Structures are given as C-alpha cells and as structure tokens.
A = this chain, B = another copy of it.
Amino acid sequence: MLSTMQDVPLTVTRLLKHGSTVHGTSQITTWTGEGEPHRRSFAEIGERSAQLAHALRDDLGVTGDQRVATLMWNNAEHVEAYFAVPAMGAVLHTLNLRLPADQLVWIVKHAADRVIIVNGSLLPLLAPLLPQLSPVEHVVVSGPGDRSVLDGAGVQVHEYEELLAGKPTAYDWPELDERQAAAMCYTSGTTGDPKGVVYSHRSIYLHSMQVSTTQSMGLTDEDIALIVVPQFHVNAWGLPHAVFMTGVNMLMPDRFLQPAPLAEMIESERPTYAAAVPTIWQGLLAELTANPRNIESLAQVTIGGAACPSSLMEAYDKFGVRVCHAWGMTETSPLGTVARPPAGVSEADELGYRLTQGRFPAGVEARLTGPTGEHLPWDGESAGELEVRGPWIAGAYYGGAAGEDFRPEDKFSEDGWLKTGDVGTISPDGYLRLTDRAKDVIKSGGEWISSVELENALMAHPGVAEAAVVAVPDEKWGERPLATVVLKEGATADFEVLRDFLGEKIAKWQLPERWSIIPTVPKTSVGKFDKKVIRRQYADGELDVKKF
C-alpha cells in the first residue's frame, strides 16, 4: 500500500531557500581582526549564493557534479560556497588547510577539483602546490592577501567579489535527487591514503534536523553561535547548514583562532553558544585567567574531536559556561552522540554522564562487537568495537578502497555498518563511553584488554612519569600487553612493585608480564602516543624487556 504523501526531496537547496527567506534577518558576523566586524544577513547570503552559482556556471563553466573546492577559514563567503555549490548540483570539497602539502595534493587530484575558492591569506599555502594540482583550472580569491604569488601559476585567477558583481540575485535552482552528492571531506588516518567521505543532500538535511533538536545543540533564532570548529572539519560539525533551518545567528572567527582574539570576540559580540575542540578551550581558559574578560553571554559550548578532561569542564562551570561533550567522526557527519545527562539524574551522577561521549539519537543505531565477532549487551561493562548505522553515516569511501593497505572489511561490516575503530561500552540508557582505539586493544585469548586503562592505572603511581602499553605477540594467548614506563627523575624501577600496584585496580589476567623502561614515549605530530613506533622497536629487539 503506497502512502499518499508528496515525494519531496530533502536538499541543501531547501535549507538555503528557507533560511534566506523565513530567517532572512538572521546574521553571519565575520571577525576582521580590526575595527567593526563584517555582518551579512541570511537574505544577503541567499542573494550572493545565487550570484556565486551564476559565476561558477556562466564564467567558470562548472557543470554537472564537478567538484568545487574551498581552502578557506570560517567566514560568510565560505557559507555562500556551502550553499551555492550543492544547490546548483555540483559538489563542495572542503580542503583541510592543516594537512601536509603532499596529502593536500593527493586529495585535490583524487577528488578532481576543477575550481578552488581560496582566502587571500591562504595563498602562500596554495601557490607553491598549484603546479602539481593538475585538475584545477580556476582559482577564485576572496579577502585580503597578496595575489602576486599566483603569477605564472598556470591557472585562471578570479576575484571573488568581481565574479559576483552584477550577477542576478536569484537562480533557478535545479530539482535534485536527495541521494545525490552534495559535499565531500577527506579523513586522514595515521596509516594509508586519505579516504573521501561524500555527503548526500539527504544526509546533510537530516543531520541539520538532528542538530536542531533539543537532544543535540537545541539552538533557536535567539542564539548567536560562535563556530570555532573549522568549516573544513566535517562541515564545522554541520552547524552552518543547521542554522539555516532555525535562524541561529553565526559568529565566524575567520583566521583569528588564537586565544586573545577569541576572548575579545566573545566579550564584544556576546555569543550564547560555541563549538570547538578541547585544545581551543584549554587555550582560552589560560587567556581568561591571565586577562579576564566578560564571557557571561556564553551559556553552552559543545566540545568534540577529542575527550574533554573533567578539570576543563569544571573550570568552565565556574564561568557559568555549560560544557557539553559530543562524539563523532568525518564518517558520521559528525553527530554520533551528545552528552546531555538524562532527566532526573542526581547532582553527584551528573558529571559522570557529562564525561561520557554521549547518548545516541534515534538516527544513529549502535552496537558493540566483541573479539570473536559477537554483539555485546548494553550493560555499561562489556567493551567492544563500536559499530554504527544511520542515514548520515558513511557506508563506503569515494572511489572505493584507498591505498594498498586499506581493506574495506576493516571499516565496514558485512551488513553495512561503519566500524568506528573505537572500543568502549554502552550503558542501558544509551550512553557511550570510549575506552580505547581498536588497534591499541590487546586481544588476549579471546578477551580484550584496554591499553588505555592499564596506562592510566600505571601513571597514577608516584614514580611513573608516562606509560604506554602495547600489544605484543604471544604464543599461548595470541597477544599480551607490554608495559613501557618512563620514570620520574630520581625514581627507580621495581617492576614487581608496579605490577602489585596495578593489581589493586586491574584483573589479574590482564596484568602485563613484559616490562621495559624507556627514556620517553614516542609521540605523533599532534602529541598522541605513537604506539606503532613502540611495537616496531619491540619487534626489532631495540627495547630492554624484562619478563616475569
């Protein structure tokens, strides 16, 4: 039996049309570093998106689903590209300006970007790469910056404002299939080639609805949202799309991401909400301590991208700023969970809930898969790899397998769920607590041992400065933990004492038999423990290991 409902697609175009009319007076404010910030209404964004689409089609010849890339900060022009490119039927590709040059080159070629819209301040980054970016025919420059670095680059160079000037402020947006590609973003792991995630119009629309529910950000047109999380980072967590649904005003920091200007823009523009990764909030806290500012407007902030220490949450509590944890990935658009405590929770339990990764919404199905492939109960105890399913979650990568060492079965289950690579527990009321990365878990005799749990327990010992635990091959158990320890100055190594210390908190069968003192834990470029290096050192016999 067929329903009698209209078959209306869920599209980015609808978000643009709605936001630029019903919420036409809502504003995007872009920080300029000096003087009055720049302000543009949603109605103007609508008109200028139409002008940009005309320019891309008529002047630059963009047709079909060609890719238009952006190498931009968070600002009003970047939002115009967010809407104009998908609404005209093309695909927006946001480039991560923090990536190493070779990865940027790889990504632009893999996506076959024909146009790059770039902020003038980022030309020194782009210009040297252009000779290698063979698919790129057009570079469109917006905002201040020396254009001369593009001389002789072998591409057509355009001024953003000149392209838009005089173009019609309306565009006959095509009717699109909701499953059509709208935007793409590459995720770069520590190994293998970057992997392209392609968002559909449908996934962006549904994700925008989710952001607008009371369970997620729950903002209204009375709010001003400071979007620190970059627009090249999973669509700034979907916020620029979602605000067009509900008329939330946006405050955009452009390139002014240092603690001092952030504090200044909070004091003067009085945002009610902000979204950023923990390091930004750490930096801002230090700035506020050194140079007090009035940040009383800020009621709620979302922290994602990495776990937030409880000390940071409590520090902001004192400012009257409510920190809310969220978890997601490039592959999950990114809203996976948001850590709003359940109704009726006691004050004592509240912080515990806030420190979880958060609660799953209806649009994200979750399951935990154990070491032997079985699905584990939601009991808050059983730890397994988190797998998720839903209409805004990736089921593949652009162009299929990426790189030699990439195996699709490592990322997607046979029945199509995304394997997140994260290990954790889920409570009966749907709160996720991540404990480890799947690749760092020790698979010992059909059971899993969390390396992170062992490390935290070890680092609680007064003589231990740092500790890293990695899996090493074991004939009997498959894998067993190797504990590598950095001692504090003046402390001496007594592995038996350390093991007894661990034994007070950790089950006996999980205690390491292999121990090694190392001078320092190897780290990645972003400061995370680089366990690959330790595993290789162990395999190559470079470590002095005691076994008992």
Contact = CB atoms under 8 A, between A and B. Distances in A.
A24 B219 contact: no
A212 interface: yes
Interface string A411-439: 00000101000000000111000000000
Interface stretch (A14-22, A116-124, A295-303, A529-537): A14-22
B218 A4 contact: no
A115 to B, nearest CB: 15
Nearest to A205: B362
Given A10-B391, A22-B430, A362 B5 contact: no
Nearest to A65: B1
Interface string A186-210: 0000000000111110110010111
A391 B5 contact: yes
Given A213-B246, A220-B214, A430-B22, A182 B3 contact: yes
B389 A4 contact: no
B212 A214 contact: yes
Contacts of A396: 4
A497 interface: no
Interface in A440-456: none
Most chain B beta-carbon contacts within 10 A, residue among A5, A23, A360: A5
B6 A389 contact: yes
| Tier of interface size on chain A | 35 or more
Interface in A206-255: 206, 208-210, 212-215, 218-222, 244-247
A539 B398 CA distance: 70
B4 A398 contact: yes
Contacts of A18: 360-362
A392 interface: yes
A417 to B, nearest CB: 8
B6 A416 contact: yes
A395 interface: yes
Contacts of A4: 196-198, 394-398
A359 interface: yes
Given A22-B360, A24-B428, A343-B221, A1 B198 contact: yes
B6 A390 contact: yes
Interface in A1-36: 1-8, 10, 14-15, 17-19, 21-25
Contacts of A221: 342-343
Interface string A358-402: 011111010000000000001000000000011111111110000
Contacts of A208: 362
A180 interface: yes
A326 interface: no
A407 interface: no
B22 A359 contact: yes
A409 to B, nearest CB: 16
A220 to B, nearest CB: 5
Interface in A139-184: 179-182
A22 B215 CA distance: 12
9 contacts: A3-B180, A4-B394, A4-B396, A4-B397, A5-B199, A5-B392, A8-B393, A21-B378, A212-B213
Given A24-B428, A212-B215, 16 more contacts: A2-B179, A4-B196, A4-B198, A4-B394, A4-B396, A4-B397, A7-B391, A8-B391, A10-B206, A14-B363, A25-B429, A209-B210, A209-B213, A212-B214, A213-B213, A215-B246
Interface of A: 1-8, 10, 14-15, 17-19, 21-25, 65, 91, 179-182, 196-200, 202-203, 206, 208-210, 212-215, 218-222, 244-247, 340, 342-344, 359-363, 365, 378, 389-398, 416, 418, 428-430
